[in-house]
A and B are shown apart, each in its own frame.
Chain A
């Protein structure tokens, strides 16, 4: 079942380069929709609270004790669904983005989807590592091949950061193999490794390797610097795949591997990790406020969000972990919506600079509305889904230590500033002339080149009147908007999936005693400290 789920986009990705360019988009959309259907089928077969399910296991490399082993638990299932939902949305929203070489664009997007799904389903550490690293190949070609000038350098920076993290992870994974070999049976299966009796010192070293890799992936301060450059240069669709799907591997890995295999070392490292998370929350938000490039701004808000998610994971409570898992889903939906809407704006104005937009509200009321909803979701407005998860993480943070919660709360205040100020600068005030290819020469911003830039080309064809969002664009973000509202009022289905996982992880493996969070249908978390 899970193999088919991975194979559908993978085979489509391999097939698309051989198809006529005209039908490649439709094939890509069809394949990703098919994957979504399969993911929903997985959901229906999933028994809530049943641990690791739909497992498949065959020996892959006997000499290393490596298995091709797949399975989903609550965490994996949510990530699989997120990936399966976001990919067709990205393909639909970026209908014109791949004009120059559409086939390779769609092939790489689908390859990235397939490998990401494999990452979330892998239950063998070797397999996880292989697909974890392999995701970088499509990601590199997507960032480097599409987007604006300077993308090759951004792609290089992205790849170097990720591979550095990956190789540190390699050392740790090999270390795990050696530890398991010393205890008799070398194995990479997650279920075996969780039983492993690792000495305190070895555990801490191995944990460090895993954590560094995931911190780069997520990203956390101070290894986040690739994030802003990459999101600025890549197309919005690619940024969505990177930030909303690929980066989730970082926090996913922290939960599954850091906490799952090294519970003791994770608790030992908690003070440092929490400090990094808090710095990320505040620093990411502050830097985001100062940005003039809308895509860069959204990228940096994610730094703040990943700080929240990491914080929720490392305060060691079921509430925090479950809140973080929920946060991962909500951040995926909310940020994807924001990126895509920003992409619509950029394609209309021909610039990514906020200072050159302005006064768009009258011309494009629908776009303004969409931006507002996505933005308010990002800042955690009650009634939209990110609020619940942010609230759960904050409650858990206050439980851990009041000052940790207090610092984290400032992140929310800052979020209000960067979202609302961005909205104000883009949509209100006097309008600007659209920046076309002719006008591009007049500016001294070298990221608005005269040619070779997909975004600018479209702006050149834009008339004086800025068109509002068309039907396809609205259709692409509609599922995300609906999800934001629906899960804002009824988050319980998501919590039902994440709670058993968080409970099992923290109470069985880590050994924390507390209750999983519950929420009323109205959206307010029920919690004795919280109310």
Chain B
């Protein structure tokens, strides 16, 4: 029996390898570096790893060769299991940028007076003697950095998967560290642990669906590889029942990760319970990775089967937008409100996904569905990370003040912070001159040109509902006077890590609203998916 050595395209896979390597080094650091020095070393390692991966991504992105049919650039590497093409590189860049922001927020120690926002000793029961001791000794888990690096690596692998099995492995690699991170809040630990458990149970359940879908699709196509599945779908023989149920099962797994209705139930609880830095990171980066995977799966594997999955996405997109927008109106906690708003954004993104058209149906230079979704992910990421980062600095004696009543009149007390928060809310609401507007514009446009006008009309109706709760919050901050005896939150000045993150997000939100051209062009240049 011959043993063929697998070909690994080390250069193209470099960003992925760097992040995995940094994660593994982080584990070793945890074992060998003295406790007092670990924080600095771990933060440095994580930041350096992500930065190096970002540089490598840019290098890889500029050096991609044209693939076979000329519509896309890139290659199918690692024996067919990883695809490095234009969309992959764009998504890698996006994930890494928000990871850098996430690590900066993780490393913030000034807000909690010298300790990070993570539990001192996660194993100590809440309220126990052990917890108190960990707290007085100023212990801190530095394992969060290797954990987040593994999550980042999983997020990079997820949209780059060339076959379903790799996709599943990536899904687990990104999810498991996140489940853990969600349970590590320093304050309100029971809420945090409940969130982690909820996320884990539902996430494991949805992974089961995904795996079952993989098996069914294998039964249909006889292969795990997305390209081979595409060929089988085009050929059209085989048992279509297997195919359709398989698509549905895979969709359950993926739609769970992006928080689409009816798989959204975990989102508000997890977003609220998780440490806010983790929420900021995962709300942006997970969504980017999962939408990358959704796009690749639907466009590459099932692209010629669009007429079967598009109606399903119509219904899910409509439900997601409406449920997200309506339920956000009745929230009284800012993190939950942002969670429901992120559900509504999932719906808007799905509106862009279902706007896919064959290249022959598009005019020269018309916006494509892929371009629109990639751009929307960019704008959404900046607004979300910025908004959650701002939530971490608005505090009272019990830590972050997330209930609405504490934010009353913040515009009078801290006009800059309230103004920047208002900017992020306006961007999420899609008001012109902010990035969110251009994002909404592009996804609505592609859906409209694909003939999905009913979805666009619902999207517009949900936008109106969404504007209501965003603007109500602005009104709360600026035009409502706090009652004389009301306890209100105030702004704690964070270290430069958090302030720079917020400033960059705000600048990007304004810049992408005024000059979206370069990023839109970049998203257009990524070309098609390579299979």
Point out residues on A near B: beta carbons under 8 Å.
59-65, 129-134, 136-137, 140-141, 144-145, 151-152, 155-156, 159-160, 163-164, 167-168, 170-171, 174-175, 177-178, 181-182, 184-186, 452
A153's closest neighbor in chain B, by CB? B475
Query: Does B432 lie within 8 Å of A145, measured CB to CB?
Result: no
B-side interface size class: 35 or more
Q: What distance in Å separates the Cβ of A64 from its nearest Cβ neighbour in chain B?
A: 6
Query: Does B431 lie within 8 Å of A137, measured CB to CB?
Result: yes
Given the contacts A63-B520, A63-B521, A155 and B448 also touching, CB distance less than 8 Å: no
Q: Indicate which residue in A130, A137, A168, A181 contacts B426 across the interface (CB closer than 8 Å).
A: A137
- Residues of A close to B471: CB separation below 8 A: 140, 156, 159-160
6 other A-B residue contacts (CB within 8 Å) besides A61-B520, A63-B524: A61-B517, A159-B471, A160-B464, A171-B457, A171-B460, A178-B449
Q: What distance in Å separates the Cβ of B373 from its nearest Cβ neighbour in chain A?
A: 14
Interface assignment of B463: CB less than 8 Å from any CB of chain A: yes
Q: What distance in Å separates the Cβ of B486 from its nearest Cβ neighbour in chain A?
A: 17
Query: Does B517 lie within 8 Å of A186, measured CB to CB?
Result: no
Query: Does B464 lie within 8 Å of A145, measured CB to CB?
Result: no
Distance in angstroms between the alpha carbons of A168 and B460 in the assembled complex: 7
17 residue pairs from A and B, CB less than 8 Å apart? A63-B365, A63-B516, A64-B367, A64-B441, A64-B442, A64-B445, A130-B437, A133-B431, A137-B426, A144-B478, A155-B475, A160-B467, A171-B460, A177-B445, A178-B449, A181-B363, A182-B449
Top 8 closest A-B pairs, CB basis? A152-B479, A63-B520, A130-B432, A133-B432, A181-B363, A178-B449, A167-B460, A144-B479
Q: What distance in Å separates the Cβ of B97 from its nearest Cβ neighbour in chain A?
A: 21
Distance in angstroms between the alpha carbons of A248 and B481 in the assembled complex: 34
B440's closest neighbor in chain A, by CB? A170
Distance in angstroms between the alpha carbons of A168 and B461 in the assembled complex: 9
Distance in angstroms between the alpha carbons of A253 and B449 in the assembled complex: 25
Query: Does A160 lie within 8 Å of B480, measured CB to CB?
Result: no
Distance in angstroms between the alpha carbons of A186 and B441 in the assembled complex: 14
Give the residue among A61, A145, A159, A185 with the most B Cβ atoms within 10 A.
Answer: A61
Contact with A along B160-191 (1 / 0, CB 8 A): 00000000000000000000000000000000
Query: Does A174 lie within 8 Å of B431, measured CB to CB?
Result: no
- Residues of A close to B371: CB separation below 8 A: 63
| CB-CB contacts below 8 Å: B435-471 with A | 437-438, 441-442, 444-445, 448-449, 453, 456-457, 460, 463-464, 467-468, 471
- Residues of B close to A155: CB separation below 8 A: 475, 479
- Residues of B close to A181: CB separation below 8 A: 362-363, 366, 449
B368's closest neighbor in chain A, by CB? A63
Q: What distance in Å separates the Cβ of A165 from its nearest Cβ neighbour in chain B?
A: 10
Distance in angstroms between the alpha carbons of A152 and B477 in the assembled complex: 11
Q: What distance in Å separates the Cβ of A117 from its nearest Cβ neighbour in chain B?
A: 15
Query: Does A131 lie within 8 Å of B432, measured CB to CB?
Result: yes
Query: Does A175 lie within 8 Å of B460, measured CB to CB?
Result: no
Query: Does B363 lie within 8 Å of A184, measured CB to CB?
Result: yes
| CB-CB contacts below 8 Å: B175-212 with A | none
Q: What distance in Å separates the Cβ of B351 from its nearest Cβ neighbour in chain A?
A: 12
Query: Does B480 lie within 8 Å of A174, measured CB to CB?
Result: no
- Residues of A close to B453: CB separation below 8 A: 175
- Residues of A close to B420: CB separation below 8 A: none
Query: Does A182 lie within 8 Å of B445, measured CB to CB?
Result: no
Query: Does A63 lie within 8 Å of B460, measured CB to CB?
Result: no
Query: Does B524 lie within 8 Å of A182, measured CB to CB?
Result: no
Q: What distance in Å separates the Cβ of A126 from its nearest Cβ neighbour in chain B?
A: 8
Distance in angstroms between the alpha carbons of A152 and B408 in the assembled complex: 13
Interface assignment of B433: CB less than 8 Å from any CB of chain A: yes
Q: Indicate which residue in A60, A64, A156 contacts B475 across the interface (CB closer than 8 Å).
A: A156
A175's closest neighbor in chain B, by CB? B448
- Residues of B close to A178: CB separation below 8 A: 445, 448-449
Given the contacts A168-B460, A181-B366, A160 and B432 also touching, CB distance less than 8 Å: no
Q: What distance in Å separates the Cβ of B415 from its nearest Cβ neighbour in chain A?
A: 9
Q: What distance in Å separates the Cβ of A266 from its nearest Cβ neighbour in chain B?
A: 22
Q: What distance in Å separates the Cβ of A182 from its nearest Cβ neighbour in chain B?
A: 7
Distance in angstroms between the alpha carbons of A43 and B151 in the assembled complex: 62
Distance in angstroms between the alpha carbons of A59 and B367 in the assembled complex: 16
Q: What distance in Å separates the Cβ of B476 from its nearest Cβ neighbour in chain A?
A: 9
B366's closest neighbor in chain A, by CB? A181
Distance in angstroms between the alpha carbons of A176 and B432 in the assembled complex: 18
Interface assignment of B472: CB less than 8 Å from any CB of chain A: yes
Query: Does B517 lie within 8 Å of A174, measured CB to CB?
Result: no
Distance in angstroms between the alpha carbons of A492 and B460 in the assembled complex: 45
Q: Indicate which residue in A132, A134, A152 contacts B480 across the interface (CB closer than 8 Å).
A: A152
- Residues of A close to B457: CB separation below 8 A: 171
B457's closest neighbor in chain A, by CB? A171
- Residues of A close to B438: CB separation below 8 A: 61
Give the residue among B362, B366, B524 with the most A Cβ atoms within 10 A.
Answer: B366
Give the residue among B432, B463, B472, B520 with the most A Cβ atoms within 10 A.
Answer: B432
